[in-house]
Amino acid sequence: MSTHETADTGEAERFRADLAGVDPTSFKKTTLKRHNPRTVRKNAAEAYRGYLITHATKSADLYRRMEGAWYGIVLGATR
> Pseudo-torsion of CA 31, 35, 40, 45, nearest 10°?
60
**Using CA atoms, how far apart are residues 65 and 56, in angstroms rounded to an integer?**
14
Mind listing the pLDDT tens digit for each residue in 2-16?
Answer: 776 777 778 888 888
Q: Any residues with CB less than 8 A from the CB of 41 and at least 6 apart, and which?
A: 4
User: Does pTM top 0.75 for this prediction?
Assistant: no
Q: Mean pLDDT over residues 22-40, rounded?
A: 77
**Using CA atoms, how far apart are residues 56 and 47, in angstroms rounded to an integer?**
28
- pLDDT above 90 covers a percentage of the chain that reads 8
Task: Say what the pLDDT of residue 69 is.
Answer: 92
